[in-house]
Structure 1
Amino acid sequence: MENQCLPKKAPGFCSFRYGLAIFLHFCNIVIMAQRVCLNLTMVAMVNSTEPPHLHNGSTLETLDDLKGTVSTGQHGVWVKWAPPLERGRLTSMTLSGFSMGPFIVLLVSGFICDLLGWPMVFYIFGIIGCVLSLSWFLLFYDDPKDHPYMSTSEKDYITSSLNQQVDLPRQSLPIKAMLKSLPLWAIIVNNFAFIWCNSFLVTYTPTFISTVIHVNIRENGLLSSLSYLFAYICGMVAGQLSDFFLSRKIFSVLTVRKLFTTLGIFCPVIFIMCLLYLSFDFYSTIIFLIFANSMLSFSFGGCLINALDIAPRYYGLIKAVSSLFGMTGGLISSTMAGLILNQDPENAWHIIFFLMAGINVASLTFYLLFAKGEIQDWAKETENTRL
């Protein structure tokens, strides 16, 4: 029924909107490169007599904030650029750059530090970022209707598919109902836990490897990068499996969301505990660290897209609010970990990992109790959503 108003020939993969998704994919790679390269170069910057965990905390916090701002802004882009039936593919293609970025930068930064010196890492990724920024200003338009380089057929396809949503009756924002919605809070709380955990692991994996395994900067970069390669794979698998379960009607939407949220939030806790108590040699430590990092990406098929299930009408707003809470978690996580490492180096990793485990378990419990898989009453497109 929805497709009756759409053009008969809709441009496919070789289209401007998919090109935009790929471009944003590379932007996210560079954003994470600029974020993560600092974590590895910290190991090279410090004096050999200094503890390797000392760093400029304000710089990390600023970069965390910028990463969250860009992520939130990209969800706003797809509100006008992504047809409803393609939003999952386009957003997953875009956000996967956040997993691929750390893999690439950690893979090459160790060699750059070793061969050219650590300042060259910032010059190289900084120049790439400037080029992409300039390209963004030249190629991107807020509304596809205004873009001079797009085909008319693609413009018609995007605008006609979105007109069905835009033409719906305007409704006041049900703020009170949203504040009382436990399924919405379940999403927000688990976004907080996800970004808390991810921010710490992104920031301190090179430091952990340096202080616990004692490897050189080149090996550190190679070992740290493996976690993000597996995270990229896990994220892609999560997206494919969740769609498979739903399309074949093997599980309900709620079951799928709870399954992948459990895998993404609880499995890292298991491997973190294994890292503390069952890692007796180099290989076991690396394996547990890789799994602790990579299993987080299963959340892509769970709580991180659950807002589309319960309130597609307010998806952009919910993602913005979730990202705001998540950024707060990321800032607190990085800052608190740095303070703990400075004040109690001997027991620091145990304290940090147990704190992370407690937050993950509490958030997951809340999600399993209150998450929903259907559109909530306050988000339905009816005349009775006004409070």
Structure 2
Amino acid sequence: MPIPNGCSINASPSDESEYSEPLIENDAAPPQCCSARLNLAILMFFGFSVVYGLRVNLSVAMVAMVNATDPQPSENSSIIDACPRPSGTENTSQTLQQPEGIPQYPWDSKTQGWLLGAFFFGYLCTQIPGGYLAGHYGGSIFLGVGVLGTAALTLLTPLAAQLGSYWLFALRALEGFGEGVTFPAMMAMWARWAPPLERSRLMTLSGSGANFGAFLALPLTGFICQKLGWPAVFYICGGAGCLWAVFWFVFVSDDPRTHRRISKEERDYIINSIGPQGTAHGWSVPLVHMLLSVPLWAIIITQMCSNWSYYTLLTSLPSYMNNILHFDLQSNGFLSALPYLGGWLVSTLSGVAADALIERRTLSVTNVRKLFTFIGLLLPAVFLVAVSYAGCDHVLTVTFLTLSTTAGGVSASGVFMNQIDIAPRYAGFLLGITNTFGTIPGVVAPIVTGYFTEDHSLAGWRKVFWASAGISFSGAIFYTIFGSGKIQPWAMTDEDSVETEGRRSRTITQST
């Protein structure tokens, strides 16, 4: 079924566009199937699958890399008594035997927390400059180099671990530094490629690669660690990233105007439907207006709240499965990955649902973003509270954790794409800003989790889940009050103003 009329970005069917007139006819919209924009979304999907595999592989490999979760447990430690071990595993949960010659290290829970959070120290540094430069020059080079650089550094992980925890911390921070440009670059590219009525489905498809990557990487990491040893994990993941980069640089272009294989019909459709906002921004950006923008701060605060629970589970769930529930490494990887399968499916479907609501004018863009954000933050919080009281029940725990991350996928069509609604031309730069703040939980949450769970008790993990749930709920309320899907005045250009006034005048004339 052809996509309905693509309108100018300022004429999307939302509460702010009372006077809207499509720039192209309904039957002029080319189908997505086999289109250049869909191919771009699929390549991005696999790219983010790779980068999230590179990001989370340490979470599972850490179980194999340490020769004891706590090298000197006290006599009265609750490590053994937190949950009963499965029969026949009395002494195998804490130490995983590796193939001969594979080293293991005596890192305690605090050291592990710092190593798991190290990635985000570097990730913080390149979000804003990456988004700014991608918005000016185009995002393809930054996304491609970001993935390639992170993959190449991942190949050095075994060497860094052998040199010591400080070296591994530095390497992981450098990996984060390289990967920090990827999401802002993606947003900058979609500002030029995604017709307004297709944004939700294209962006959720490409971004859902993150959940899919986590879903694949977690069980594969456990399997590889057991069969080949933990160093093989980083060699395989790094090699996959380098291979993906070859396809990216061969087939991708920054802009539909310069794409070598796009049809004229599709190119005209994209350019006309996006309008003047689908071009690069200049060197100057309205920083003061951005700083004072309430809708932008709504995105920032809400993403920080949502990411706290997401990063907590992403980095620490394998440790919970190992230290508390005592799953073997291969089961650990599979069960830790299960929530991300649900998140991947739901986030993709949420994009289709959000676009349908907007196309049919059932809800405004603002209300769609608020609805999907509220559901995508509230339900995960409820299920995390349930996890904290599931105790040692393996089935209930895995069920609630899966439901929590699955429900969180709904917010993919809410706050996580809201930058392109409020300021399309500056979307990459804004995502750099919001992701910088949103990455702070990635730094802090694993460290806080390490301190909360130092004794590996159920009570310590209950604090982790309650804190995550409370923060998520706060974000849902904040965004419901202050969020917006309207393009902001400071993001408008002279061409936008002239175009909007022209449509308004034509519409008034036709109505009279």
Give the TM-score taking structure 2 as reference length.
Answer: 0.67
Q: In structure 1, what is the Cα distance between the partners aligned to 2:360 and 2:270?
A: 28
Q: Deviations over 1:185-241 (max 9, x none)?
A: 111111112222211111111111111110101111111111011111221232233
Which amino acid is the alignment partner of residue 227 of structure 2?
L
Contact 1:261/1:303, CA 8 A, preserved across alignment: yes
Question: Hey, what does 2:415 align to over in structure 1?
Answer: 303
Q: In structure 2, what is the Cα distance between the partners aligned to 1:215 and 1:90?
A: 37
CA, structure 1 residues 169+202, in 2 after alignment: closer, same or farther (shift >3 Å)?
Answer: closer
Question: Hey, what does 1:285 align to over in structure 2?
Answer: 397
CA, structure 1 residues 16+368, in 2 after alignment: closer, same or farther (shift >3 Å)?
Answer: closer
Deviation of 1:124 (Å):
1.4
Q: In the alignment, which of 37, 53, 67 is matched to residue 47 of structure 1?
A: 67
Contact 1:6/1:157, CA 8 A, preserved across alignment: no
Q: In structure 2, what is the Cα distance between the partners aligned to 1:337 and 1:169?
A: 41
Question: Hey, what does 1:382 align to over in structure 2?
Answer: 497
Question: Hey, what does 1:330 align to over in structure 2?
Answer: 442
CA, structure 1 residues 263+82, in 2 after alignment: closer, same or farther (shift >3 Å)?
Answer: closer
Deviation of 1:24 (Å):
1.3
Q: In structure 1, what is the Cα distance between the partners aligned to 2:272 and 2:361?
A: 30
Percent identical: 35
CA, structure 1 residues 255+169, in 2 after alignment: closer, same or farther (shift >3 Å)?
Answer: closer
Q: In structure 2, what is the Cα distance between the partners aligned to 1:175 and 1:302?
A: 24
Q: In structure 1, what is the Cα distance between the partners aligned to 2:403 and 2:279?
A: 46
Contact 2:280/2:425, CA 8 A, preserved across alignment: no
- Greater share of helix: 1
CA, structure 1 residues 325+65, in 2 after alignment: closer, same or farther (shift >3 Å)?
Answer: farther
User: Are 1:99 and 2:211 counterparts?
Assistant: yes
Structure whose alpha-carbon radius of gyration is higher? 2
Contact 1:195/1:327, CA 8 A, preserved across alignment: yes
Q: In structure 1, what is the Cα distance between the partners aligned to 2:117 and 2:410?
A: 30
Q: In structure 2, what is the Cα distance between the partners aligned to 1:167 and 1:123?
A: 39
Equivalent pairs counted in the alignment come to 382
Q: In structure 2, what is the Cα distance between the partners aligned to 1:101 and 1:81?
A: 24
Question: Hey, what does 2:373 align to over in structure 1?
Answer: 261
Q: Which sections of structure 1, spanning at least 5 residues, go unmatched?
A: none
Q: In structure 2, what is the Cα distance between the partners aligned to 1:89 and 1:349?
A: 36
Q: Deviations over 1:290-317 (max 9, x none)?
A: 1222221111122223334434444333
Which amino acid is the alignment partner of residue 60 of structure 2?
L
Q: In structure 2, what is the Cα distance between the partners aligned to 1:382 and 1:277?
A: 55
CA, structure 1 residues 169+70, in 2 after alignment: closer, same or farther (shift >3 Å)?
Answer: closer
Q: In structure 1, what is the Cα distance between the partners aligned to 2:356 and 2:230?
A: 44
Question: Hey, what does 2:127 align to over in structure 1?
Answer: none
Q: In structure 2, what is the Cα distance between the partners aligned to 1:194 and 1:100?
A: 18
Q: In the alignment, which of 121, 136, 145 is matched to residue 248 of structure 2?
A: 136
Q: In structure 2, what is the Cα distance between the partners aligned to 1:365 and 1:171?
A: 36
Question: Hey, what does 1:200 align to over in structure 2?
Answer: 312
Q: Deviations over 1:313-367 (max 9, x none)?
A: 443332221112112232222333334444x544432332233233223322222
Question: Hey, what does 1:320 align to over in structure 2?
Answer: 432
Q: In the alignment, which of 19, 26, 35 is matched to residue 55 of structure 2?
A: 35
Q: Deviations over 1:81-107 (max 9, x none)?
A: 334443333222210101111111123
Which amino acid is the alignment partner of residue 497 of structure 2?
T
User: Are 1:177 and 2:296 counterparts?
Assistant: no
Q: In structure 2, what is the Cα distance between the partners aligned to 1:254 and 1:16?
A: 28
Contact 2:200/2:413, CA 8 A, preserved across alignment: no
Q: Deviations over 1:92-141 (max 9, x none)?
A: 22101011111111232222222222222212111111111233233333
Q: Which sections of structure 2, spanning at least 5 residues, go unmatched?
A: 1-20, 72-93, 95-108, 121-172, 499-512
CA, structure 1 residues 314+6, in 2 after alignment: closer, same or farther (shift >3 Å)?
Answer: farther
Q: Which secondary structure does the structure 2 equivalent of 1:142 belong to? A: coil
Question: Hey, what does 1:86 align to over in structure 2?
Answer: 198
CA, structure 1 residues 146+104, in 2 after alignment: closer, same or farther (shift >3 Å)?
Answer: same
User: Are 1:21 and 2:136 counterparts?
Assistant: no
Which amino acid is the alignment partner of residue 50 of structure 1?
D
Q: Deviations over 1:142-194 (max 9, x none)?
A: 34444444455544554455554468999974433332222221111111122
Question: Hey, what does 2:386 align to over in structure 1?
Answer: 274
Deviation of 1:35 (Å):
1.2
CA, structure 1 residues 166+29, in 2 after alignment: closer, same or farther (shift >3 Å)?
Answer: closer
The equivalences for 1:49-88 within 5 A come to: 50=70, 53=109, 54-55=111-112, 56-57=115-116, 59-61=118-120, 62=173, 63-64=175-176, 66-88=178-200
Give the TM-score taking structure 1 as reference length.
Answer: 0.86
Question: Hey, what does 2:463 align to over in structure 1?
Answer: 351
Q: In structure 2, what is the Cα distance between the partners aligned to 1:116 and 1:253?
A: 50
Q: In structure 2, what is the Cα distance between the partners aligned to 1:361 and 1:167?
A: 37
Contact 2:318/2:332, CA 8 A, preserved across alignment: yes
The equivalences for 1:202-241 within 5 A come to: 202-241=314-353
Q: Which moved more, 1:171-180 or 1:10-19?
A: 171-180
* Superposition CA RMSD, Å: 3.1
